[in-house]
Amino acid sequence: MFSDIIQATDSEEAAAVNGVDVGVLIVTEEWEPAALKNIADVAVILEGRIVLRKLRDVPTGFAVLMARSSIGL
């Protein structure tokens, strides 16, 4: 399981998902790791690629990840 917080740039996003089998990616507009109030995107990673993005919040992202990984999608 992988969880990371990155700034909203394509290069950082690509680096964050590289080699990740299962995870939640949290993209912020500003680099403030302690405060997640400026979330730009929450995405689900399966088998090294983003399969869902623009989820409304982190709990939703985690729930979707658990549901998709448990049914093998």
Per-residue pLDDT reduced to its tens digit, 11-62? 777 777 888 888 888 877 776 655 556 788 888 888 888 888 899 888 998 9
CA atoms 28, 14, 47, 54: torsion sign: positive
* Residues found in the chain: 73
Query: Is the pTM value of this prediction over 0.85?
Result: no
Element (H, E) at 70: helix 58-71
Name which residue leads in pLDDT, 68 or 52: 52
* Rg from Cα positions in the chain: 11
- Alpha carbon distances (Å) from 65 to 9, 11, 16, 72: 22, 23, 17, 10
Structure tokens at 58: 């982190």
